[in-house]
Amino acid sequence: MSAEVTVDVDQGVAVITLNRPDRLNAYTAEMGALLSRAYRDCDEDDDVRVIVVTGAGRAFCAGADFSADTSPFEAPDEPSTFSASPITPAAFELRKPVIAAVNGHAIGIGLTIALQADIRIVADEAKYGVVQVRRGVLPDCMAHWTLAQLTTLGVAADILLTGRTFGGAEAVALGIASRATSAEQVLDHAVMMASDIAANVAPMSAALCKRLLWDSAIKSYTPRQVASLETQLHQRVMGGADAREGVAAFLERRPPRFTARVSDDWAALPEP
């Protein structure tokens, strides 16, 4: 990976770091392309059970980079190649759990990238905001959908239409984040959570659970449709090696040794 994004894998946890600390990890097109590639690579790597995305230094991502001669909000030379959702795949489209360790300020696209993760740990003292309407453009990275899914339509309207900033405690109160800690503890807490998942959660179970969770929102499944899919997916894993191993490890009070490989054994979810 380029210096703008680094990836470190240890004991099933991949830590992806936005790495422009001298610019508060301000977002560039190169950074977006590298983050997308890192997501794809980690999703295909069976040695990766969980992904943690964080920022180097004292910020997660301070938003778009305005240091270049051309503003990132200028009309694109090739409109057909422009996307307001440049991270592909989005974190919620992966099969691995993704935890955003939001270790400092996350503004604009910095926050909308984090909103695509499954879980967010934020810093108490940092500032957060989807400020694009104050810059004459619109929120990006599917924030009109992710924020409404994570919170409520009313909260999403408050955050997106005002472009205001808020702190870690309010992020938790609004349902945007799971927990707020001191900035120094954010990454450690996220990695501890990721390590627990990597050691104790069956990777295929996590993949199926995550896809069903997000697909239920994306496709607006009814409760009975979810029940049908839960039944079909149970039948896919019940009686399998990992189901037997999970029970045996629990009864024998030892760490499980799951063997299913998402890269080899994955099959897309059926229709309800």
- The residue range of the domain holding 247 is 202-252
Q: Please give the average per-residue pLDDT across 243-260, as a whole number.
A: 97
Structure confidence at residue 159 (pLDDT): 98
Measure the CA angle with vertex 44, ends 42 and 45; round to 5°. Answer: 65
pLDDT digits (tens, 9 = 90+) for 143-161: 999 999 999 999 999 999 9
Are residues 238 and 151 part of one domain? no
Residue 264 placed within a domain: no
What pLDDT, on a 0 to 100 scale, did the predictor assign at position 68? Answer: 80
Buried (b) or exposed (e) across 233-266, using 16+ Cβ within 10 A? beeebeeeebbebbeeeeeeeeebebebebeeee
Please give the mean pLDDT across all residues of the chain.
96
Section 208-223 average pLDDT: 97
Q: What is the rounded (10 degree) CA torsion for 1, 195, 179, 158?
A: 40
Q: Does residue 1 carry a pLDDT above 70?
A: no
The predicted structure's pLDDT at residue 81: 85
Q: Is the dihedral of CA 202, 207, 208, 213 positive or negative?
A: positive
pLDDT for 91: 98
pLDDT over 80 (residue 2): no
269 within domain boundaries: no
Residue 49 has pLDDT above 80, yes or no: yes
CATH number of the domain residue 236 falls in: 1.10.12.10
Summarised one tens digit per residue, pLDDT across range 100-110 is: 999 999 999 99
| Residue carrying the six token digits 């955050």 | 159
Per-residue pLDDT tens for 167-184? 999 999 999 999 999 999
Percent of the chain whose pLDDT exceeds 90: 93
Asked if residue 91 is part of any domain, the answer here is: yes
59-101 tens-digit pLDDT: 999 999 988 877 888 888 888 889 999 999 999 999 999 999 9
Give the per-residue pLDDT at 67: 85
Give the strand order in the sheet containing 105-107.
59-61, 105-107, 128-129
| 97, 37: one domain | yes
- CATH code of residue 107: 3.90.226.10
* 108/230 same-domain check: no
Q: How many domains does the chain have?
A: 2
Based on the fold, state whether residues 27 and 97 are members of the same structural domain: yes
Is position 248 within any domain?
yes
Q: Mean pLDDT throughout 205-213?
A: 98
**Residue where one domain finishes, among candidates 177, 197, 217:** 197
User: Is residue 271 in some structural domain?
Assistant: no
3-state helix, strand, coil in the chain (%, to 5): 45, 15, 40
Question: Does residue 263 belong to any structural domain of this protein?
Answer: no
Residues 18 and 49 in one domain: yes
Same structural domain for residues 156 and 33? yes
Are residues 152 and 24 located together in one domain of the fold?
Answer: yes
pLDDT digits over 113-137, tens only? Answer: 999 999 999 999 999 999 999 999 9
Q: Write the DSSP string, 14-64.
A: EEEEE--GGGTT-B-HHHHHHHHHHHHHHHH-TT--EEEEEESTTEEE-SB
